[in-house]
Structure 1
Amino acid sequence: MPNPDPTTNVTVPSTQVVSTAQRQQRGLTPNATMRRYLAAFRTPRGLVGLVILLALVLLAVLAPILYPGGYDQQSGDSFQGPSGSHLFGTDELGRDIFIRTAFGLRMDLSIIVVAVPISLVVGTALGLVGALSRIAGTFVQRVMDIILGFPGVVLGVCIVLIMGPGWPALVVAIAVSGLPLFARQARAALLEQSQREYVTAARTLGVGKGTILVRHILPNAVDPVLVNGAIFVVVAIFIEAGLSIIGLGIQPPEPSLGSLLNVGIRFIEQAPMYIIGPTLFLILLSMSFSLISDALNGTVNRK
């Protein structure tokens, strides 16, 4: 039924009233939302994080073009020191450590790009289902409690032992590790938004539960989920590194940042850059996402 507007005596459709209430909640029109996210990258932290991330992504994407010989090409001498032709020197087989690090970065990014979105989508869906149904919510919470009972690397070890080491096992391990973070965040956000006045107004106007969830609650609950997504990338980076360092991740000769550290530990005296190079890339990659998450958090929570 239409609702009279007491201030103008103009009849306003119920859908327009709900949409107005939603926009007034935090100005969440599509354009306003995009502007808020882009504003995060105009802050010093967001800008620095974005520049570092773009540089790393560019190196990873262009690695096969820049180094057509691949990561396994051998030169004449092993354990050469850093030079103009070998920025990080060479390893025990005469392979360029910088090139292997660039391909290792490419491997890490390929894992993150697949694992983190899967964890975010599945975890958020589980959290929403758990918030909408008491029985399902109890089941989901117990499953999340079981997952939380295992530290990320320990859970990853169990999954890798079942699936076998390699790229698929790392993706599954990281995705499963992040489910409790996203599920609980989504559930908390939905329960919080459900108590807001704009949701009460929508229910009063007879708007269906599905419409309220998709059109009104989710746009208001997406901010903390995205911020946690950026934070979880840092966790994912170190889960991959931790599993590969102990030999349960990417297997040689295929490089990842963690597997390079696994091998480099044995040759730290002959080639210190074997450890320093991949560690530097790990620090830069994690720092970029940490800065971006801080910038996003500061922007979306700005009053």
Structure 2
Amino acid sequence: MRDPLTAPEKPHEGWWRYLDAVRRPRGVVAGCLLVLLIGAALLVPLFTGGYDQQSADTFLGPSWRHLFGTDELGRDVFVRTLYGLRSDLVLLFAGVPISAVLGTLLGVLGALSRPLGLAIQRVFDIIIGFPSLILGIVIVLIMGTGLWGLTVTIVLFGLPGFGRLARAAMLAQEQREYVVAARVLGISRWKVLVRHILPNSVDAIIVHAAIAMVIAIFLETGLSIVGLGLQPPQPSLGMLLNTGVRFLSLSPMYVLGPTVVLILLALSFSLLSDALNEAVTRK
């Protein structure tokens, strides 16, 4: 039997833990919610004419035709919510993976070189020192509002978390017996890093990626509420909340509908992170 203190875990063995995570109660709920939300966001163009179809029927109440009612321009709020969900998912699945890759690389470089590591940690300290909303405002003001500004904000804000996590995981793995044995046998440090240390450090990074999704959701929402997110007529969940709050007394569903979808999206990634964390800690 393999001794976990003297031999690295084979990379393919770790994937079974991730599959085990989605079979847990929290993982099942998270998976169902994500499939439902992602499916609705992907399929909405097939059943609607677009997110900016206007009509004379303004501020209609919820009905089978308009589940969330209509807005001030007669547009279907439910349709715009699904398109807003689509925009948010594009931001999440673009920004968070880029942040994870760049942050992990910076963390690894910081572990390999002490001077470089100190410099990278000071940069991370500067990023962490800014409140997320203030950091987002600064970046968006420099790059301009829209998809690119939000994506860069999500990437930069996520770098310290991934970088420090990768550095800590790598330093912990370097103290294990199988790494020491490999170095005694003359195997190069880079080969040990690529073949053994990084594959055995990926668990914590994947769990943190699910948490970073939740952070990115609320970061986009916060920037959109202050008017620095996607610009009309292109919807996002945050932008719908920003606009709908002005007409809350006329159409409560204008705010309530996107809020429910936003909460479900954040809840799904939160439950997924819990399920992944429970699965990987059993190894």
TM-score, normalization by structure 1: 0.91
Structure-1 residue corresponding to 2:38: 57
Tell me by how many angstroms 1:32 deviates.
1.7
Contact 2:58 2:72 in 1 (8 A): yes
Aligned residue in 1 for 2:236 = 256
Aligned equivalent of 2:270: 290
Contact 1:22/1:198, CA 8 A, preserved across alignment: no
For residue 156 of structure 2, the aligned residue among 158, 176, 183 is 176
Paired amino acid for 1:80: L
1:4: which partner in 2? none
CA shift, 1:74, in A, is 1.7
- Provide closer, same or farther for how the CA distance between residues 52 and 206 of structure 1 changes in structure 2, counting only shifts above 3 A: same
Query: Which of 45, 48, 62 in structure 2 is aligned with 1:82?
Result: 62
Q: Offset of 1:256 from its aligned partner?
A: 0.2
Task: Report percent identity of matched pairs.
Answer: 58
CA drift at 1:156: 0.5
Q: Distance in 1 between matches of 2:204 and 2:79?
A: 37
Q: Give the conservation status (yes or no) of the 8 Å contact 1:104–1:256.
A: yes
Instruction: Name 1:10's counterpart in structure 2.
Output: none
Q: 2:25 is matched with which residue: 44, 53, 62?
A: 44
Following superposition, the deviation at residue 63 of structure 1 comes to 1.2
Specify the alignment match of 1:132 in structure 2: 112
Instruction: State the Cα distance separating 1:76 from its structure 2 match.
Output: 2.8
Alpha-carbon spacing, 1:228–1:287, altered in 2? closer, same or farther (3 Å)? same
Q: Following TM superposition, by how much is the alpha carbon of 1:28 offset from its aligned partner in structure 2, in angstroms?
A: 2.9
Conserved in 2, the CA contact under 8 Å of 1:27 and 1:33?
A: no
Aligned residue type for 1:35: W
In structure 2, what is the Cα distance between the partners aligned to 1:233 and 1:108?
10
1:104 aligns with 2:73: no
**Aligned residue in 2 for 1:203:** 183
Q: Is the 8 A contact 1:156 1:170 kept in 2?
A: yes
Contact 2:8/2:196 (<8 A) preserved: no
1:244 offset after TM fit, Å? 0.3
- Quote the residue 1:7 is aligned against: none
TM-score (norm 2): 0.97
2:8–2:200 CA contact under 8 A, matched in 1: no
Instruction: Show the counterpart of 2:94.
Output: 114
CA distance in 2, matches of 1:137, 1:186: 12
Cα distance in structure 1, aligned partners of 2:91 and 2:247: 27
Tell me if structure 2 keeps the 8 A contact 1:22–1:28: no
Structure 1 CA distance, aligned partners of 2:61 and 2:157? 39
Equivalent position SS for 2:88: helix
CA distance in 2, matches of 1:150, 1:293: 25
Structure 2 gaps of 5+ residues are none
Q: Return the letter of the residue paired with 2:82.
A: A
Residue 33 in 1 paired to residue 5 in 2? no
Structure 1: state its 5+ residue gaps: 1-19
From 256, 269, 278, the equivalent of 2:249 is 269
Higher relative contact order (CA 8 A, sep 6+): 2
| Matched residues, number | 283
The answer to whether the aligner puts 1:143 opposite 2:123 as a matched pair is: yes
Amino acid in structure 1 at the alignment position of 2:42: V
Report the Cα distance in structure 2 between the residues aligned to 1:25 and 1:299, rounded to whole angstroms. Answer: 22
CA displacement at 1:151 relative to structure 2: 1.4
Cα deviation for residue 58 of structure 1 reads 0.3
1:135: Cα distance to partner? 1.0
The corresponding residue for 1:281 is: 261
